[in-house]
Amino acid sequence: MSSEQREHGAAAESAWRRFWNRGGWWKALLVAAVYWGLYQLAGVLVFLAFGGLIDKHDVFANAASVFFGIGAAIVVGGILLVIFAPSLGWLKQLFGRQPIGGSWWMWIGVGIVVVFDILRFASADYAAWDAGAVVAVLVTGLVIGFAEEVLTRGFAVNLLRRAGYGERSVMLLSSLLFAALHAGNALSGQNLLAVGFTVVYTFAFGLVMYAALRVTGNLIWPILLHASTDPSLFLLTGGVDATSSAMHPGPLAGVAGLANVVIMIFALVPLVFVRGRVDREAAYGLKPPAAPLA
């Protein structure tokens, strides 16, 4: 490679990083939209290549069906995010200490998620499950937690903070993006009422995960909380946005079933109490925006 080519490559890389380093809500939307599109494309390609391994009547029937029916496309999405982060020089930043701390009440949200996840895991009817499918559900949950949290509480939060938004706006916009990603479930033929409830719930869950990010100070913890939430729900109900009649959960299932309602109620708390703004210059070496953003 000639010196001119190396200089051109360095300039292009610098321009690429400068573009993203300034942040902005529309860039967060762009990242989410591109991720969603590539995830959908990956899902189509996985189905074309491995559709024969997916049980059309019960995607949770066995390990292969779970992985290729749910997990494989998300694995692709997670890999793309991992590739994207170093291209910006953000990998350490995304998984490093958060530039703003949290308040004591945010631990309540973390506690709610942990307690209800334990209750759901304890109440699941494991006898009705294929053993390999249980393992695949747990692995898929980890992949979901990683990809969705890195995208929304990682990239989106970072882009919004870099643009100078206050933390309430950062919380709301990143949670709206998180909820919007799940609106696409309607394209898979899911009941619109169930999809609508999922969107509302995921917005509330996004607020709780934002609080977890703030109070724990590291993206790893929302990832792990999220990674335990989806599998506990799948194992308890035997479905996605639905409950399988073949499941015979334990005596605590009724209490565990209150999780979504309790999370949505708690989500009202961060709506009221979240405050603050990250110092762009101290955190990112960026000058303050011309006019303060809400």
Encode pLDDT of 183-230 as tens digits: 877 777 677 888 899 999 999 999 999 999 999 999 999 999 999 999
Q: Which residues contact 89 (CB under 8 A, 6 or more apart)?
A: 17
- Per the structure block, which two tokens stand in for 39? 């995830």
- Res. 9 pLDDT band, cuts 50 70 90: very low
Query: Would you say 116 and 233 are in contact if contact means Cβ atoms under 8 Å apart?
Result: no
- Per the structure block, which two tokens stand in for 7? 């200089």
Q: What is the pLDDT of residues 230-277, one digit of tens each?
A: 999 999 988 665 555 566 788 889 999 999 999 999 999 999 999 999
Cα 240 from Cα 245, distance rounded (Å): 13
Cα 33 from Cα 20, distance rounded (Å): 15
- CA 210 to mean position of chain CA atoms: 10
Residue 287: its pLDDT value, please? 75
Cα 226 from Cα 220, distance rounded (Å): 10
- Per the structure block, which two tokens stand in for 2? 């000639």
Cα 101 from Cα 170, distance rounded (Å): 14
Cα 11 from Cα 19, distance rounded (Å): 12
Residue 164: its pLDDT value, please? 95
Q: For the chain, what's the residue count?
A: 294
* CA distances (Å), origin 112, targets 21, 102, 220, 252, 260: 35, 17, 18, 15, 10
Amino acid at 192: L
Buried b (16+ CB within 10 A) or exposed e, 123-160: bbbeeebbeebbebbbbbbbbbbbbbbbbbbbbbbbbb
Amino acid at 26: W
Cα 232 from Cα 137, distance rounded (Å): 9
- CA 93 to mean position of chain CA atoms: 18
pLDDT of 102 higher than 90: yes
Task: Quote the crossing angle between the two packed helices 131-149 and 220-237, to the nearest 10°.
Answer: 140
Buried b (16+ CB within 10 A) or exposed e, 258-272: ebbeebbebbebbee
Which of 138, 160, 252, 253 is CA-nearest to residue 206?
160
CA-atom Rg of the chain in angstroms: 20
- Res. 3 pLDDT band, cuts 50 70 90: very low
User: Residue holding tokens 């950062």?
Assistant: 170
Query: Would you say 26 and 99 are in contact if contact means Cβ atoms under 8 Å apart?
Result: no
Residue 246: its pLDDT value, please? 65
What does the mean pLDDT of the chain come to? Answer: 91
User: Residue holding tokens 């995304």?
Assistant: 94
pTM of the model: 0.90
